[in-house]
Amino acid sequence: MNAVGKIKPNARPFYQKYTASQLKDALRKMYLIRRFEEGAEEAYMRGLIHGTMHLSIGQEGSAVGATMALRNTDYITSTHRGHGHCIGKGADPKLMFAEFFGKEEGYCRGRGGSMHIADVSTGNLGANGIVGGGLPIAVGAALAIKKQKRDDVAMCFFGDGASNEGAFHEALNMASVWKLPVVFVCENNKYGMSVSTERSMAVANVADRAAAYAMPGVIVDGNAIADVEEAIAEAIARARRGEGPTLVECKTYRTRGHSRSDRNRYRTKEEIEEWKARDPIPHFEAELMAHGLATAAEVTAIRESAEAEIAAGIEFARLGTDPNPSEVTRDVYSNEAA
């Protein structure tokens, strides 16, 4: 079955339907995301990049778990905290770093930066700087899928904060009324910037809101990749069958602040430490080893290979081409005459 040994027949579906190599690739993606963001943070500290960024450190389980069952032709819409979704869907970290560094080689030719990084060739319709901005866009992409009679899906990532936007209501209602193939993936990391879900939501769970749109609302441990993937796989299958959208809420946590300006005044050190102890990466490593799907040496090799790729990506980005200031209006329109 795999390099290490046979998977137990009573193992959960997640460990049965993927090969050991696919599962190890998922671990590698989680490491790529973690190290990408740590590398970006360090580059920022050293003054190599400017602007701001929103790190998803601690949320890699939901990003990779949600995207594992997607095809290249499936779409995602992402968020301001979207590096993980981008890598999960298949983007190349070195081209993401080039974007971070504002270079022509970057995915957006240096025009988008952290908040808009997207590899369109893998079906990523864009990270989004507007909270809730991607929700109706995903519904539109799903409408196109239906019109084109494809069995692809549109996966919409959003946070707990976005579920308080009007766009959330409009998007989920339309997706359900028209039975569109959307998978709404809420990464509930407990805070919309500094305001907790307890202080901003009238219900306990974002998934509780699914009932208002007559769609399934599922809650999973977002730090357990197997939990995420299994729930999402079911939602994807439902969407592909033409049965309409599902809302999956991944309970997770960002251990870093909201953005560069965050001084962590709204949460306790204890809370952060408690969630760090539930880090999705060691959790997944332990499960892989317990199932005999990877050895400790393999896990180390995966981590080191991800680290090497990230280091090479930063070097690639540093040596990239700066955009020409005379081309500031390029790509505002398809034909430049406008």
Partner 1 sequence: MSVRELTYAQAIQEALAQAMDADPSVFLMGEDIGVYGGAFQVTGDLVHRYGEDRVMDAPISELGQAGVAVGAALAGCRPVLEFQFSDFATLAMEQIVNQAAKLRFMLGGKVNVPLVMRFPAGSGTGAAAQHSQSLDAWLAHVPGLKVIQPSTPADVKGMLLAAIDDPDPVMVFEHKLLYKMKGEVPEEPYRIPIGKAHVAREGRDVTVVATSIMVHKSLEAAATLASEGIDVEVIDLRTLRPIDTATIIDSVKKTSRLACVYEGVKTLGIGAEISARIAESEAFDYLDAPILRLGGAESPIPYNPELEKAAVPQVPGIIEGLRNLVRGRM
Residues within the interface to partner 1 (CB under 8 A): 75, 77, 106-112, 116, 118, 120, 125-126, 128-130, 133, 135-145, 147-148, 154, 166-167, 170-171, 173-174, 177, 329-335, 337-338
Shorter beta-carbon distance to partner 1: residue 120 or 311: 120
User: CA 290, CA 7: separation in Å to the nearest integer?
Assistant: 10
To partner 1, the closest distance from the beta carbon of 131 in angstroms equals 10
Nearest residue to 127 via CA among 118, 140, 119, 136: 118
Shorter beta-carbon distance to partner 1: residue 10 or 148: 148
To partner 1, the closest distance from the beta carbon of 302 in angstroms equals 31
To partner 1, the closest distance from the beta carbon of 253 in angstroms equals 28
Position of tokens 């989920």?
A: 172
Shorter beta-carbon distance to partner 1: residue 12 or 109: 109
To partner 1, the closest distance from the beta carbon of 102 in angstroms equals 11
Shorter beta-carbon distance to partner 1: residue 26 or 108: 108
Shorter beta-carbon distance to partner 1: residue 63 or 118: 118
168: tokens are: 């959330």
To partner 1, the closest distance from the beta carbon of 201 in angstroms equals 20
